[in-house]
Structure formats: structure tokens, C-alpha cells
Amino acid sequence: MEAKAYDLEKQQVLLTNNDHVNNLFNKHFSIVNNECYTLPEPTTMFKDCPWTIDELQEIKNELNATKNCLNNYDIDQWQLHTRERNSAQKVIMQLRTHIQPELLTQAWCKFYEIVSSFPLIPVDYIRANDTYFRSIHLCEAPGAFITSLNHWLKTNVPDIKWDWLAMTLNPYYEGNSASIMIDDDRFIRHTLDHWFFGEDNTGNLLNLKNLNKLVELSESHCNIFLITADGSVDCTDVPAEQENVLLHLHFCETVAALQLLSTGGSFLLKIFTIFECNTVCLIYLLSCCFTNVSITKPATSKEGNSEMYVVCTNFKGPTFISPYLEKLREHYEYGPKQAIFNKCDIPCTFMERIILCSEFFKFRQCLVIANNIISFNSDNSEMLQNIKQIQCMVADRYIKMYNIKKLEIGQIIGNAIISSNYISTNQHKKSLQGSYNERCEKQHLAPIGRIESFCNDFNKIEIHVSSDEIINYNFTEFPEKLQIRSGKVFHKIGSSKFCNRIALKIKNGVDDILIKMNFKIQFPSLESIEKVKNEMLCEPRHEVLIFQYTDIYDSHKIITEIYNTLQKLDIGATLVLFGYSLLTHLSIELLYLISYAFKSLKVTVCDDIGLKITLYHYNYNLKVLQFLSEINAASLEAQKQEKAILEIISSSAFYEGCNLCFSAEHLNHWILKTYFNYILHTLKKDTN
């Protein structure tokens, strides 16, 4: 690889800065340009075993060999290095300074590039028919494709009337894993009426019932001329198989788009590589359904990764795809296990285009990786100066090429001001430490060694509360009404807006190891609870309600326990909660709600039991009891439908009125700290 990297370096030196910038903005490859490919009969689909193309597998092996050179690099150091060398690094800075777009992210930049470079919007047709233009955005969080499209429409075709709908994994559904979801809701919270989270409120596009509900919802909205699909999952631990990991998602995004799109519309799909059988088949399917299909890697896409976009324009229409939808939908929920098409049904000319396309993007990606390796191991100041100059040239070219202008006042979609108190665990996005090989080695440690390794990682996260700290809460905004949402039952908390993302991932990793060890932990321990209860015997009129942080999550049980306790509580009594989780919207919203039936709420940080939550002087608030009765009834009804209560208060009322939600992250961090300490203590005691 070193010799190869040296050769690549020599090629790179031959490029002028201007050539480098030109190449960056010309990573496009046309797959179909008015050629007429034919779909085989639906009855022949999904019959063949997955097949391979030797040339594509060779290209895949070459790319993986280059990527394998990164296995010993510390991921934090490597990501810092590649960020500094990113040719498009200054684009966002320039846009933020001069244009100030709404929800400016890298995704905003990528979409603006694509919509400015390809005829994604059939403007002439929309104008000629004086019709409304509608778009649907799949796997869209946090919403930057939408704000980017709005910016392009307002500054290029302001006469066109536009409406939109988006579907994404629900950032308020704690059953979703953080590794597959973006939980940034800055934009979502202010545009909730435009977001659809499916029949089960998860936002999971891979559920056929959710697709059916989306289709039903969209039937009254004709003229859907654009569908975007920007889905991905974290494949850092399986870098060589990113394409296979994402195949099911890409299949569902494609089937959804083909079922929703109007004749003449466009589809934009994010993919990564085209090496495997069914990715080739998906591209062939799209090439038969659209007049023009191109693959592009925007200049603002990270140069060293495999990300690229399939741009499909001029859809042949529902009538064309209708005979195939039933067959495609049969494989929707579980993904295609067989080849979508027989190998012999795909023309050789198409295969040749795919091979050329894969080589085109592989070569450029390998060049970037090799160059980054060379510069990582070099202190050449001239090389650094060179990249700084390129970054300025790229930013200038980007703004001039796409003629980006500022929006006028009132042209943004969401709220102009986003609260600085906004809760987002995205600030803790980095969760991997060390090199890829070091992380693989940790997987082979003995169970206790892996738990200790997890705990060491946890201890690197800064904590903002200390033992015996007391926090008093006073809530002033009592919610005027409930907004009860139900959805799919979950028993494991995969994500939380009230917990550091890394910390929760570590907690779930530790729990998985304990399950494999068949080692049952109760926390708080029975001994700790008994000790605290005995201390409280001298406290008159105290009612104790005990939960377990280690119990499987059960929304109905939490609601029932709280409801039953308040029903029989004496006026003037104090309620003390132990082991009460603050990881979900429901648990914090319930605490927020019942606090209005008490004089005050105090949270005490404890060494042995995590938190002690004390609600002083019960005052019998009829409105609170009525709300609890309504919530309990809704929970009983949800149980009958095999669903669970997810939220009980609107997001706006909750975040504006409940200051507990802004400190819950630190309190949960403390709970996890005491939990891990207890686990290590118990394991060591049992092994001695």
C-alpha cells in the first residue's frame, strides 16, 4: 500500500489547484440518458440466487484494501485530520456568514448542489399546468433537504407553490436505537404538522404498515414531483460491508418512492457503493422507471467516504410500475433474500456502465484516502498551505456557481429563533474511541474485561452533578390539556433526549453482556432501599414508591403505579420515589404533571441509589387527578391494541414549562455512574 500511496501522491502533485477544484465539482456519472431499458416480467423476479460480477468484486476488494490502511489510526485523530483537509470545509462558513440559510448543515449544501445541477423539479410542467408542487422526504431528519429546497425555490422559482411531507425515525420514540437515528429536532419541533411517524409512531420506513399509511396519507396530495431518501446507519464497525448493511433500507426507500411519485417526477436516493447484486438490480430498476439516471458525489460530500446520490428524473409513471409493485411489496418488510432480477435479464451494456461508474468513484475515493494518509504522516507546511488555498477556491466557486442569494424576511419555513436551551444529544455524537483494530480487540475480552472497558470509556465523559447535591424545581406553566400519543411497545431504551448518547450506548452494551452472562442485577439494591426506608421511618406522613432502574421499561406499569399511588395519598403527605427513571418523555412528563399536586419537588443525588425524588405536601389537585385518570384509561386502551403510551404533553408545552428536562441529562449521567460502580463492585465480590 505504501508504494501505491506514493504513486497516488505523484498523480496528485501533477494536479493544479484549479484542476483539483474542477474535479471536485465534476463527480458525475451518467447511467441512463434516454436509453430504453426493459424490465423483465414480474413473475421472473426474486427467483435467482444472489449473483456477483467479478469486475465489481475486484473494485470492492481494491477499495477495502485502501480503507484497511486506516485500521490502526485513532478515529478521533483521523477525523480531525480529514476535517482539516476537507476541500469543502469553508463552504458552510461562507454560507453562514453571507447567506445565513435556515438549518445550515452539510446535507443542506449537498442538496443545494444537486438541485442546482440536475432538473429535479419539473418547473415547466408545473407552470404550464398551474399546479401545486409537492415533495416527500424520507429518512429526512433533521430536515436540511427541506430547508435547502425551500431556499432554492424561493430564490429561483418564487412563483411556484409548494407543500411538503417528511418521514423519519421519530426522535421522541425512545425505542429507536441512537445508532440508526438523528435525534436533532430543532426544525422538526416547529414543523410537526408536516412530519409523519407512521402507524406505530416509530417513523420506521421498513414497516410495511407505515408505508401503507404514508401512501394513504399522500393519496389526497397528487402532484408529488420530488421524493428524496437520505437514509443511512452507522457502519463504522463494519466498514467493508456498508452496502450490504444498507441494502434493505435502500430497497424500501426505492419501493416507497415508486409507489408515491407522480408521472414526470424525480427521485433522489443516497447510496454508498454499487458492488453487490441487489444494488445493481435497484439501479437497473430505477433505470427502467426513469428517463434519466445519474450518479453524483457533491463537492460538499466528504471526499474520503463512499457516499453518492442516484439522481432519477422524469418518472414514467404509476401505470408503468403498477404491475411490479405487488411483487416488490412482498419483499418489503424483510428485504430481498434472492436476486431482484436474474443476471441474464440485465443487459451487458448496462453492466458495463455500472462497472465504469464504480471504478470512477472508487479511484477518486482511494486517491483521497491515500493522500490523507500521506499528509497525516507529514509535517509539510506547503501541503497544508495548498489545501487552505483550495478550500477558499471551493467556497468561492460554490457560492458563485449556484448563484446563492439570501432569503427575504419571512421566507424561512420554521421559527426564526431556536431556543438556546434546545436539547440535543448530537453534541455528544462521537462515541467511538481508539482505532478500528483496537475496538475489534475489545470484542474478544472476557465479559468482565469488556464491562471494565465500557466503564473506563464512560468515566471519560464529564459529569456535572456531585454526591449529596440537592436540586429544587418549581414549575409555573401547568399544561392546559393533554396530548396523548401511543405507539409501538418497547422494553429497551435505545435513545433518549435526556441522556448523553455515548453513556446510554455504554449502558446498553453493559446490559447486553450481563444478559449473556445470565447475571441478574437489581439497582437500586434491596439493601440500599431498606437502609433508606429505615432512615425515613422517623419522617411522618412519607409514602415511598419504589421502582428499579434495571427493570425492563414498561410504560403501563409506570402510569399505573403513579395513578394508584396518588388516588390513595393523604392530603399533606410527602411522596418519595426511588429508582424512578428519567430517560423517557413519558416518565419526565408524568413527574412534571404530578408535581402540580404537591407544594414542591426536590431531587437529591445519592451515592448508593442514584436519585431520591421527593414531592412535598400533597394538596389534592383535581385537574391533575383528572389528567391521570385520562392517561390511565388511554394506557389500558393502548394495551388492548398492543401499543404503549409514548407522550402525554405536547412538545412545545413540555419544553417551555418543564425545566427538569434541561437538567435530566446530568441526573441520568449520575444514575449510570452509580449503576456502573455497583455492577463492578458486585461482579468483583462474586468472583472473589
Task: Give the DSSP H/E element, type plus range, for residue 624.
Answer: helix 622-640
Say if pTM beats, i.e. exceeds, 0.95.
no
Mean pLDDT taken over the chain: 90
What's the pLDDT at 8?
Answer: 45
516 assigned to some structural domain: yes
Mean pLDDT of 610-618: 95
Same domain, 414 and 456: no
430 assigned to some structural domain: no
Compute the distance between CA of residue 560 and CA of residue 570 in angstroms, rounded to an integer: 18
Closest CA to 419 of 651, 668, 95: 651
111 assigned to some structural domain: yes
Same domain, 193 and 303: yes
Contact partners, residue 659, CB within 8 Å, separation at least 6: 473, 475
Residue 143 among known ligand-binding residues: yes
Same domain, 613 and 499: yes
Same domain, 413 and 454: no
Cell numbers given for 203:
417513523
The residue with greater pLDDT, 633 or 474, is 633
| Phi and psi based region of residue 478 (left: phi greater than 0; alpha: psi -120 to 50; beta: remaining) | beta
Closest CA to 109 of 87, 135, 138: 87
Cell numbers given for 286:
430505477
431 assigned to some structural domain: no
Residue 75 has pLDDT above 90, yes or no: no
The tens digit of pLDDT for each residue in 385-415 reads: 889 999 999 999 999 999 999 999 999 998 7
Mean pLDDT of 81-86: 91
Distances (CA, A) of 403 to 20, 121, 299, 643: 21, 17, 16, 50
Amino acid at the residue 102? E
Judged by DSSP in three states, 610 sits in strand
120 assigned to some structural domain: yes
What's the pLDDT at 661?
Answer: 83
Residue 230 among known ligand-binding residues: yes
Mean pLDDT of 586-593: 95
Share of the chain above pLDDT 70, in %: 94
Compute the distance between CA of residue 268 and CA of residue 229 in angstroms, rounded to an integer: 6
Mean pLDDT of 555-568: 96
The tens digit of pLDDT for each residue in 412-443 reads: 998 754 433 444 443 444 455 666 666 667 77
Phi, psi of 644 (to 5 degrees): -135, 155
Mean pLDDT of 340-359: 97
433 assigned to some structural domain: no
Q: Based on the number of CB atoms within 10 Å of its own CB, is 155 exposed (0-12), middle (13-18) or buried (19 or more)? A: middle
Same domain, 66 and 186: yes
The b/e string for 481-503 (b: 16+ C-beta within 10 A; e otherwise) is ebebbbbbbbeebbbbbbbbbbb
The tens digit of pLDDT for each residue in 443-468 reads: 777 888 899 999 999 999 988 888 88
Cis preceding linkage at 524, omega within 30: yes
Mean pLDDT of 665-677: 95
What's the pLDDT at 420?
Answer: 36
DSSP 271: E
Contact partners, residue 140, CB within 8 Å, separation at least 6: 146, 166, 167, 168, 228, 230
Cell numbers given for 501:
448518547
Weakest mean pLDDT among 198-207, 274-283, 315-324, 477-486: 477-486
Compute the distance between CA of residue 328 and CA of residue 224 in angstroms, rounded to an integer: 21
Q: So which residues are the catalytic ones?
A: 270
Q: Which residues make beta-bridge pairs with 8?
A: none
Contact partners, residue 79, CB within 8 Å, separation at least 6: 430
Same domain, 400 and 472: no
Cβ neighbours, 10 Å, residue 523: 21
379 assigned to some structural domain: yes
Same domain, 404 and 448: no
Same domain, 350 and 453: no
Compute the distance between CA of residue 304 and CA of residue 366 in angstroms, rounded to an integer: 7
Weakest mean pLDDT among 136-140, 216-220, 280-284: 216-220
Weakest mean pLDDT among 400-404, 469-473, 666-670: 469-473
Cβ neighbours, 10 Å, residue 381: 8
Compute the distance between CA of residue 113 and CA of residue 116 in angstroms, rounded to an integer: 5
Distances (CA, A) of 314 to 34, 160, 260, 295, 629: 10, 19, 14, 15, 54
In 272-430 the beta strands, taken as DSSP E runs, fall at 290-296, 308-315
Q: What's 155's domain CATH number? A: 3.40.50.12760
Same domain, 395 and 518: no
Share of the chain above pLDDT 90, in %: 71
Phi, psi of 214 (to 5 degrees): -65, -40
Closest CA to 81 of 374, 297, 301: 374
Weakest mean pLDDT among 435-444, 477-486, 608-617: 435-444
Compute the distance between CA of residue 375 and CA of residue 382 in angstroms, rounded to an integer: 11
DSSP 478-510: --SS---EEEE--SS----TTS-HHHHHHHHHH
Same domain, 381 and 474: no
Number of structural domains (the chain) is 2
240 assigned to some structural domain: yes
What's the pLDDT at 416?
Answer: 56
Residues of the domain holding 564: 443-687
What's the pLDDT at 10?
Answer: 44
Task: Give the DSSP H/E element, type plus range, for residue 528.
Answer: helix 526-535
Same domain, 595 and 518: yes
Same domain, 384 and 461: no
DSSP 189: G
Residue 331 has pLDDT above 90, yes or no: yes
Angle in degrees, CA 75, 79, 80, rounded to 5: 120
Mean pLDDT of 357-364: 96
Residue 3 has pLDDT above 60, yes or no: no
Residue 512 among known ligand-binding residues: no
